[in-house]
Structure 1
């Protein structure tokens, strides 16, 4: 299918979608599109005031839309558990979980639990959140888990298991790349574990899009990225790979979607490839085991042989 757009999203009436980081940027555009197609949308956000403003903007554009706000700070496992408990209390089933929230290239800092901020937020927070909601997803025929990665996963050749928290030789963009590689490895391992269920896992990346993702980056990195600014596409376009992964009836588990033009920086969503490192099954399983240990969240599905 060429030039897949929001117009191609099937009716989402009766479906519940949880979208992390959905008060701005790609997450907001994703949530707005799903609400416009009739989904019940939960904006899972760190700042509930901004989340309420985002919900109001969506409902102004789509009168009658069913939009709720859920507090979720992915840099705090306590917050992740609280949010999952509240969502489980309100929803017996969840059709879509879109792991979109993220932080990019800040000066080195740590989460409330002591993890390097990007690895802890982008990967471990979503790993825990997904695991705590998984029974609601597998109980829902046709459900999907879509995790937003990045072409920055190509910046690294693998996971630094000997220094996951980048306590030595911190490089902001390489640490970001590791977190995005972890997103893909998580998706591929999760898909294998979902075999035999009615749930699939897929991934997406937005290309170069106009968002607030890099708002915490250093001045040096901000200046370094200035030449890329003219290539950036609107967040409405950047959201299309996520939306296709979440709603296209033809999507297969384990597929990765990104833009189709200019080295995947812009364009319409198509299936794209990821690095050899992302497909390293032994590393995927090791990352999974380490993630369970660090978060204390064990998935209610077995590993496959």
Structure 2
């Protein structure tokens, strides 16, 4: 039995999730479905999405909706957001779960370093697109899966944000996870008093498929060697499920959680000046503005 730290209520709720077909996303999706949620699955791979859809229905859950979305393509994210808004009238929870880690620099179709684009730009954009719908739903929630890997860095490194001069796997991943926390902090402040909470979490070291798209030793051997020390995907999903569902956090916003408990990220992840700077940088890169983006 998973421990959610309190009563988890999702019956009749509409939950949208990115990266639902593997790892903690899959575990969370199955648990939401078991508890009666209506799901929208934002997926890159249609076959995997349909397999999950069939599994959920076979277990008695409501048939999830599938929207194809490639998070390494901002045009795809925009189309997915528009498709969702055309189909859906309400959204209770958005779980930004999907993530990537690369062992060498990859560039997206938009010309951005892929780790930052997938882990930060895409959820930033998707959240902004779906925000009007969330604002119409009483007590809506936005949950961002970050990581303790934000401790790998002490800032966003604007002098080489896109890692064109020097790529380092853990630095780029750490920056993207730091970005998740700064995004959460800034968005929570902007939405204060508007009925939408925004929180983020560290899922722990989880045995998932993260990183297996890379070739060589990293992909073939590292996950297998480290698996005995990892938490299972079900365990890793606990805090995501808790933040999406528990009444205990219904009024909490702008916080960072570990093991279903509030925790303090590193000091540089709590700097409002840095959060504002990242927000401005991201909007400029995406050519997208949130409705409340202007100071004051």
**TM bracket (short chain):** over 0.9
CA distance in 2, matches of 1:33, 1:224: 28
2:230 is aligned, of 229, 232, 235, to 232
| CA positional deviation for 1:49 | 1.3
Which range moves more in the overlay, 210-219 or 18-27?
A: 210-219
Matched residue, 1:119: 116
Cα shift readout 1:122-151 (whole Å, capped 9, x = no counterpart): 000110110011000011111000000011
- The answer on whether the counterparts of 1:209 and 1:234 sit within 8 Å (CA) in structure 2 is yes
Which of the residues 55, 67, 72 maps onto 2:69?
Answer: 72
Match of 1:254 in 2: 254
Secondary structure, in 3 states, of the residue corresponding to 2:212? helix
Q: Is the 8 A contact 1:24 1:54 kept in 2?
A: no
Q: CA deviation at 1:64?
A: 3.9
The whole-number CA distance in structure 2 between the counterparts of 1:31 and 1:119 is: 24
Verify: 1:179 aligned to 2:170, yes or no: no
Asked if the contact 2:121–2:286 (Cα under 8 Å) also holds between the matched residues in 1, the reply is yes
Q: Contact 1:26/1:236 (CA < 8 Å) preserved in 2?
A: yes
Closer, same or farther in 2 for the Cα pair 1:257/1:178, shift >3 Å?
Answer: same
Distance 1:4 1:25, change over 3 A: closer
**Secondary structure of the structure 1 residue equivalent to 2:211:** helix
**Number of the residue aligned with 1:48:** 46
Among 132, 142, 147, the residue aligned to 1:145: 142
Does the CA contact (< 8 Å) of 2:21 and 2:48 recur in 1? yes
State the superposition RMSD in angstroms: 1.9
Residues 1:299 and 2:296 aligned together: no
Where in structure 1 are there 5+ consecutive unaligned residues? 260-268
Measure how far apart 1:195 and its partner are. Answer: 1.1
Distance 1:293 1:12 in 2: 36
- Give ranges in structure 2 of 5+ residues lacking alignment: none
Q: Contact between 1:156 and 1:174, CA under 8 Å: does it hold in 2? A: yes
In structure 2, what is the equivalent of residue 286 of structure 1?
A: 277
Structure 1 residues 7 and 34: CA distance shift in structure 2, 3 A: farther
Deviation at 1:8, TM superposition (A): 4.4
Residue 12 of structure 1, aligned match among 10, 13, 17: 10
State the 1:217 CA deviation. 4.1
Is the CA contact (8 Å cut-off) linking 2:5 and 2:242 kept in structure 1?
no
Q: What secondary structure is seen at the aligned counterpart in 1 of 2:181? A: helix
CA deviation after TM superposition for structure 1 residue 14, in Å: 2.3
Pairing partner for 1:99 from 83, 89, 96:
96
Deviation at 1:206, TM superposition (A): 1.2
Counterparts of 1:257 and 1:279, CA distance in 2:
14
Q: Any idea what the Cα deviations from partners look like across 1:37-72, whole Å, max 9, x if unmatched?
A: 1111011111111111111122222x1423111101
Q: Which range is displaced more, 245-254 or 79-88?
A: 245-254
Q: In the comparison of the two structures, how many residue pairs are matched?
A: 293
- Offset of 1:301 from its aligned partner? 2.6
C-alpha displacement at 1:194, in angstroms?
Answer: 0.4
C-alpha separation between the residues in 1 aligned to 2:240 and 2:144? Answer: 8
